[in-house]
Amino acid sequence: MSLSDRDILELNELCDATVEGTLTAAQRVRLEQLLADSEDARRYYVKAMDLSASLGQYAGEMQMEAADVPSSGTHLWESKSVRWAALAAALALTFTWWLTSRPTDLAKSISADLPEYVARLTGTKDAVWPPAAAELAPGDFLRRGQRLSLKSGFAEVTFDSGAIVLLEGPAVFDVTSAWDATLLRGAIKANVPSQALGFRVSNRAVEVIDIGTEFSMFADDRGGADVLVLKGEVEAMPSGDEDSEAIVLQANESRRFARAGVTVSEDPAQMRARFSARVPLERQSDSVRYVQWSFDELQGKISPAKVAGFPLGDYHVKLIAPSPSVRHTALVDGFRQKALRFEGLSFARAEFPGLSGNFPRTIAFWVKVPNDSPLSGAYSMVAWRGDADQLASRPVHIGWNRQPTEGPLGAIRTDFSGGHAMGTTPLRDGRWHHIAVIFLLSDDPTAPVQVKQYVDGRLESNAVTSGPKRSVRGNVRANDNLSGSDRLWLGCRLGAVGPKKERFLGEIDELVVWDRGLEPVEIVALMDGHMTLATQRAD
DSSP of 63-113, one letter per residue?
A: --SPPPPPPTT--GGG-HHHHHHHHHHHHHHHTHHHHHHS--HHHH-----
Per-residue DSSP letter, 478:
T
pLDDT in tens, 359-414: 889 999 999 999 999 998 998 999 998 776 677 678 999 999 999 999 999 999 99
Stretch 499-518: mean pLDDT: 95
pLDDT in tens, 181-232: 999 999 999 999 999 999 999 999 999 999 878 999 999 988 899 999 999 9
Please list the helix, strand and coil fractions of the chain in percent, rounded to the nearest 5, in that order. Answer: 20, 35, 40
Return the pLDDT at 211: 85
Q: Could you give the dihedral angle defined by the CA atoms of residues 6, 7, 8 and 14, in that order, rounded to the nearest 10 degrees?
A: 110
Out of 114-123, 128-137, 432-441, pick the least confident. Answer: 128-137
Helix (H/G/I), strand (E/B), else coil: 371: coil
Task: Tell me the pLDDT band of 37, cut-offs 50, 70 and 90.
Answer: low
| DSSP H or E stretch at residue 123 | strand 117-128
Task: Tell me the pLDDT band of 533, cut-offs 50, 70 and 90.
Answer: low
Percent of the chain with pLDDT over 70: 78
Category of 456 on φ-ψ map: left (φ > 0), alpha (ψ -120 to 50) or beta: left
| Strand ranges for 151-283 from DSSP E | 152-159, 164-175, 180-191, 200-202, 206-210, 214-219, 225-231, 233-238, 247-250, 254-258, 261-263
Return the pLDDT at 50: 56
Out of 48-52, 97-101, 202-206, 462-466, pick the least confident. Answer: 97-101
Distance between CA atoms of residues 243 and 235, nearest Å: 16
Stretch 459-467: mean pLDDT: 88
Residue 208's Cα: distance from chain center in Å?
A: 25
pLDDT at 247 over 90: yes
Residue pair 383/396 in contact (Cβ under 8 Å)? The answer is yes
Residue type, 335: F
Q: Torsions phi, psi of 172, nearest 5?
A: -125, 125
Residue pair 439/414 in contact (Cβ under 8 Å)? The answer is yes
Residue type, 26: A
CA angle in degrees (0–180, nearest 5) for 33-36-40: 105
Is the whole model's pTM more than 0.85, yes or no? no
Average pLDDT, the chain: 82
Q: CA nearest 351: which of 378, 323, 312, 324?
A: 312
Distance between CA atoms of residues 177 and 413, nearest Å: 21
Residue pair 350/293 in contact (Cβ under 8 Å)? The answer is yes
Distance between CA atoms of residues 184 and 314, nearest Å: 54
Out of 133-137, 142-146, 228-232, 514-518, pick the least confident. Answer: 133-137
CA angle in degrees (0–180, nearest 5) for 81-82-83: 90
